[in-house]
Structure 1
Amino acid sequence: MTTPSAAAETEVLIVGAGPAGASAAALLASYGVSCIVVNKYPGVSNTPRAHITNQRAMEVLRDLGLEDKAAAAATPQRLMGEHVYATSLAGREFGRLRTWYTHPHFQAEHDLASPCSLCDLPQDLLEPILINAAASRGASVRFNTELVDFVQDADGVTALVADKVTGAEYGIRSKYLIGADGGNSLVMEKLGLPLVGEMGGGGSVNIVFEADLTRLVEHRPGDMYWFLQSGAGHDGLGIGVLRMVRPWDRWIGVWGYDEAEGRPELTEDDAVAIAHRLIGDDTVPVKIESVSIWSINHVYATDNMKGRVFCAGDAVHRHPPMNGLGSNTSIQDGYNLCWKLALVLRGQAGPELLETYRAERVPVAEQIVKRAGTSNALIPGLFQALDLPAAPDEHTMARAVAGLEEATPEGTGRRRAFEKAMHATLIGFNAHGVETNQRYRSSAILDEGAAEPPAPRDEEVYHHASTHPGRHLPHVWLTRDQRRVALFDLCGKGGFTLLTGPRGAAWQEAAAKAAAVLGVPVRVRTIGLGCDYEDSYGDYGAVCGVEEDGALLVRPDHMIAWRAATSAGAAGLGSALSGLLSR
């Protein structure tokens, strides 16, 4: 590439306006960093695609002041959890699962893990919230603008972009570039970053349609209904899916096809027929909105950055939709990276801080891809329980379904096997630990030197609250002026926070001194009887892991950076902060 002259300059260029790019733009703009977003499409997503929005992603929206807007547009958790297995929506049920933590046991653990609730927020509603916030806070958003090439040097990145309306090409000069350009990322390709796994397994079809299905679902509200049907072929199996987009009149029908036979060309009549088959009633009026083809991928990047260029979102982790981890992890990528970029650009941190993006987020990408793949691999167990081959024909499927209802010893065996296989799939929806238990290890985490005690339960399944450095700040409710306040809300907003107790006076002086030396503000919040915030329920004292005169140093992304058991550690605050900032 011949380096073009720059027609525009900015601190950060973001390529892509999906969940990863839009959230990064909103964060950077909120932190006062100038950024330009280029997106080759004429607007944000026009299909619902990703939809599960978990607690960690909602926390980012809360930190951005967007939680209420998101919740208002979303379907709440209480309407998401009746996961039905049946022959069709109107057909015979085989059983149900309480998914997305709606079982009373999981609901309690869900509520104890965060001030935010999981919800169903389709991508075509999420992206406008994020991109509008970014633009209103100062980001420049350019649709119909495609990245053509880029080169980086010691001082920045020069990108060549094309205006898809006029055909004109021009340069954009930035200090840093974020490649959030999806599963066919040009930025990843240009950087030559390594990917592990396989692309393009299991052909699937999404049919977005409108149909009033209230009478079939309002008594069993859920965000997904799964059907054992011959010919469905989803990921090579006889599973068809109805996914709620809006209660109860906008839906996605998920069907499948044999990739060996090539991509199908579906007419509107074909799409209506598939929708009717999933519904199980061809008298229901159906209005087709769109049809799209996609494939199951199992790929993650073993590196996510090179020099001044970073990759985020589907560019670095591509996986089955099980567990609903895609857009959530994409948003968390930006939450990890953007405060670091802000500090480096302000000269408050050394550029080495940016290297921690690799150390902290590459393991997360690997974990979520493997988790989604493992969850997806549980689906064949349903067919094995019924002694079915993959993609069974109609006669074979009907015979197996009838066998489930036989009042014979053989029928008993089938029912028990199917119920066991069905409940085994619950981990494909309830993997709370994967969502909430990220443990970072990097130079931006100052470990205590002592190993963290093992969690008492499986950390992929269950949330684990801990203040060990590298963990996410636990959620507890405090009070101020007799009103409840989430501990989460004392931190974040792009800044560092020091949490201490009634005997933590030494930390006020230590924080002021560190801030004066390093030029990095550190807000101090005291918690306990007679403090800024009162620990009225005793929950903070039970989970904080330090004494009343100890302290927790919380990063802008709500991760515990460092802690000291007592005020004896106050003298080390400045060096701790200096170290994690790579100063």
Structure 2
Amino acid sequence: MPGAEADPEVLIVGGGPVGLTARALLARWGVRTTLVEKHTELSPFPRSRLVNVRSMEIYRLLGLAAPLTDRAFAPEYGRIRFRDTLCDRDFATAAMVGVNAPVPESPETGVLTSQDRLEPLLLAAADTPVRFGVELVDLAEEADGVVAVLADRRGGERTRVRARYVLASDGANSTLRPLLGIGTTGPGALGSFTTVVFDADLSRWCARRPAGVYFTAHGSFGPVHPEGGWMWFGVTPDDAADADWPGLVSRALGPGAGVRPEVRRVQHWVMNAFVAERFRHGRVLLAGDAAHALPITGGLGMNTGVADAHNLCWKLAGVLRGWAGPALLDTYGTERLPVAHRTLDQTVAGTRLMVEVQSRRHEQLRSGEATSDPVELPWSDRYFAQLGLVLGVAYRSRAVLTDTPSSPGPADPSAPGTDYVPTPRPGHRMPHLWLAPGRSTLDACGEWFTLFTPDPARWVQRLGGPWPSRVEALTAEQADSCALGAHGALLVRPDGHIAARWPDAPPSDTALRRALAAVTGSAGG
């Protein structure tokens, strides 16, 4: 076996959006990474198509939100429409709140775009090694790291790479998860599906009523790129190997369409629904679909994985740079596993509601009711907002100090899948406030801990120790909206979640340093 490559601090396995996001985040911390991807190139398929508002906030910090928005669909495409066939009129519709228009709770708006537009931007966001066509086939843990065996899928050459940690983002069919003996819980495979990418002029039926997805009784349609292209996806037919894909898509369009689509690509895939039993095994950490495979309803799969990376990467950086203790990595699973389970429940429920809409329509047609009558949706129009689930995530772990003086409001004010209620409680995302034109409180977070306070002079002298940190001034009005007195403060983690809160003056000169030591599990206090 040939000699070892240059050793990375973190070996990232999987070059989809989650692995590429982790690579870009770790690069901002100066962490040496190598990413390996078993496929020989970035995905040419549209696949994941929704970048929600929280992911856009994360990409804003990486400088990618503006170029993503520039190449994405216009906000009016942030809508779902239900039709009998694509050529028919809508019998139901719902908005994707947070995508179809800005929301005041965020400086960003989610976008509808295709994975093949997102991944090149992510790839260019860091200048660290990426090896396509290379697969991890074995690994062994040592006292201070991991030895991974990598196989080049084109030439068969094998190499050994040593890393301090491995971040496994290698998808629902992960090699690493079973290799580590990590099981899964949940429904499992929900069915086999096929995506067909094709060219056709469908403007007659869609230009005046744009949407990201058109659900029909014969599969679902969606525009691929603003400049053209379409995709159809539905249940894989029994005769898939010999299927007439142009004919199948043509029939799904409707008998009156008179369109013969030009098929570009066909991909078969399995819709999975599970969560890994744990997200960490020693020095290997799971993220994205390797940790939780979610049904596509609501577009939460990729976005949940992006949030995984955001939660994990600052913790890896802290451990590798010595200002955090190794136990901080345990909080990754403690914080993200409950989110994965809630999100799985939400997407499974959403899938059932989609089926219910179609069932109501079939019953309407069977009973002879007027086909132009709308179907009353079994949810509010805000169902697809999911802002409570996306922005209202509340972490509970040793990396959040909930024993600081009392905080206002209910324990979990945001109901998953519905409304989001900003709160300054520890564990929650820092509320978005405009610090200056175009500059949000979320922009003040980054590769450091941020202390938000209306009294910077009192707090800045209490900083110290090994932790990267900054102080950010709040106006009296902003402090009041965060339920802070004239000398209070919020300590916010690099991932934008509140770590600790002091409504009034610090209880002692060492309170801030002791809080940072407790949050990071270090001895620097």
Q: TM-score, normalised by structure 1?
A: 0.84
Q: Tell me if structure 2 keeps the 8 A contact 1:320–1:373.
A: yes
Give the whole-Å Cα distance in 1 for the aligned partners of 2:414 and 2:22. Answer: 33
1:241 aligns with 2:220: yes
- 2:38 maps to what in 1? 40
- Equivalent residue runs for 1:132-211 within 5 Å: 132-134=124-126, 136=127, 139-211=128-200
One-letter identity of the residue aligned with 2:484: V
1:463 aligns with 2:420: yes
Q: 2:385 aligns with which of 430, 433, 440?
A: 430
Match of 1:524 in 2: 471
Q: Quick one: distance in 1 between partners of 2:39 and 2:332?
A: 28
Q: Which residue of 1 aligns with 2:64?
A: 66
Does structure 1 conserve the Cα–Cα contact (< 8 Å) formed by 2:385 and 2:417? no
**How far has the Cα of 1:457 moved from its partner?**
6.1
Which of 457, 465, 478 aligns to 1:505? It is 457
Matches of 1:220 and 1:383, distance apart in 2: 20
2:445 is the counterpart of 1:491 = yes
Query: Which residue of the other structure, out of 499, 502, 507, is the alignment partner of 1:561?
Result: 499
Do structure 1's residue 374 and structure 2's residue 330 form an aligned pair? no
Take 2:439 and 2:471, find their aligned partners in 1: how far apart are those partners?
16
Show CA shifts across 1:453-497 (max 9, x none).
145663431112011110001111122xxx3421111122x1111
The alignment status of 1:313 with 2:288, answered yes or no, reads yes
Question: Do the aligned partners of residues 45 and 380 (structure 1) sit closer, same or farther apart at CA in structure 2, a change above 3 Å counting?
Answer: same
Could you tell me which of 401, 404, 414 is aligned with 2:369? 404
Identify the structure with the greater helix proportion. Answer: 1
Structure whose alpha-carbon radius of gyration is higher: 1
Alpha-carbon distance in 1 for matches of 2:423, 2:177: 35
Contact 1:255–1:274 under 8 Å retained in 2? no
CA contact (8 A) 1:12 1:174 kept: yes
**SS state at 1:580 partner:** helix
Tell me: CA distance 1:123–1:77, structure 2 relative to 1, closer, same or farther (3 Å): same
Match of 1:419 among 360, 375, 383: 375
- Identity, in percent, stands at 34
C-alpha distance in 1, partners of 2:149/2:414?
50
- Distance in 2 between residues matched to 1:36 and 1:99, nearest whole Å: 36
Matched, 1:544 2:482: yes
Amino acid of the residue matched to residue 296 of structure 1? M
Give the secondary-structure state (helix, strand or coil) at the position aligned to 1:21. helix
- Equivalent residue pairs, number: 518
Q: Indicate yes or no: 2:109 matched with 1:117.
A: yes
Separation in 2 of the partners of 1:201 and 1:568?
Answer: 53
The 3 A distance-change label for structure 1 pair 467 and 4 is farther
Residue pair 1:227, 1:241 contacting (<8 A) in 2 also: yes
> Tell me, what secondary structure is at the counterpart of 2:323?
coil
Name the SS for the 2:259 alignment partner: coil
Counterparts of 2:99 and 2:336, CA distance in 1? 29
Q: For 1:475 and 1:363, locate their aligned partners in 2 and report how far apart those are by CA, in whole Å.
A: 24
CA RMSD across the alignment: 2.3
**How far has the Cα of 1:277 moved from its partner?**
2.5
Distance 1:425 1:111 in 2: 17
In the TM superposition, what are the counterparts of 1:281-296 in structure 2 within 5 Å?
A: 281-296=256-271
Q: Could you tell me which residue of structure 2 aligns to residue 574 of structure 1?
A: 513
Aligned residues of 1:301 and 1:366 also touching (Cα < 8 A): no
Residue of structure 1 in register with 2:123 after alignment: 131
After TM superposition, give the deviation of residue 225 of structure 1 in Å. Answer: 0.9
CA distance in 2 between counterparts of 1:18 and 1:102 reads 22
Report what 1:341 is aligned to. 316
Structure 2 CA distance, aligned partners of 1:321 and 1:425? 20
Q: 1:301 to 1:153 in 2, by over 3 A?
A: same
Matches within 5 A, 1:355-394: 355-386=330-361, 388=363
**Post-superposition offset of 1:219:** 1.0
3-state SS of 1:323 partner: coil
Deviates more, 1:158-167 or 1:458-467: 458-467
- Using the alignment, how far apart are the partners of 1:198 and 1:569 within structure 2? 49
Local SS of the residue matching 2:240 = coil
Whether contact under 8 Å (1:340, 1:353) holds in the other structure is yes
Partners of 2:53 and 2:98 within 8 A in 1 = no
Deviates more, 1:155-164 or 1:377-386: 377-386
Q: Which runs of 5+ in 1 are unaligned?
A: 233-239, 389-396, 530-537
Tell me what 2:96 maps to.
99
The offset of 1:5, in angstroms, is 5.8
CA pair 378-197 structure 1, distance change in 2 beyond 3 A: same
Q: How far apart in 1 are the matches of 2:343 and 2:388?
A: 11
1:319-338 to 2 correspondences below 5 Å: 319-338=294-313
Task: Work out the CA distance in 1 between the residues paired with 2:388 and 2:415.
Answer: 8
| Structure 1 residue 291: Cα displacement | 1.0
Q: Specify whether residues 509 and 294 from structure 1 end up closer, same or farther in structure 2 by C-alpha distance, changes over 3 A only.
A: same
Judge conservation of contact 2:434–2:441 (CA < 8 Å) in 1.
Answer: yes
- Are the aligned partners of 1:156 and 1:173 in contact in 2 as well (CA < 8 Å)? yes
1:251 corresponds to? 230
1:526-578 deviation per Cα after TM superposition (whole angstroms, max 9, x unaligned): 1227xxxxxxxx4x234312112101111110010111111233520010001
Q: 1:102 to 1:58 in 2, by over 3 A?
A: closer
Q: 1:70 to 1:33 in 2, by over 3 A?
A: same
Change (3 A) 1:146 1:192: same
- What is the TM-score with the length of structure 2 in the denominator? 0.93
Are the structure 2 counterparts of residues 201 and 455 from structure 1 closer, same or farther at C-alpha, using a change threshold of 3 Å? closer
Query: Aligned partners of 1:500, 1:457: CA distance in 2, in Å?
Result: 25
1:316 Cα deviation from its structure 2 partner: 1.0
SS at match of 1:424: coil
Note if contact 1:178-1:310 (Cα within 8 Å) is conserved in structure 2.
Answer: yes
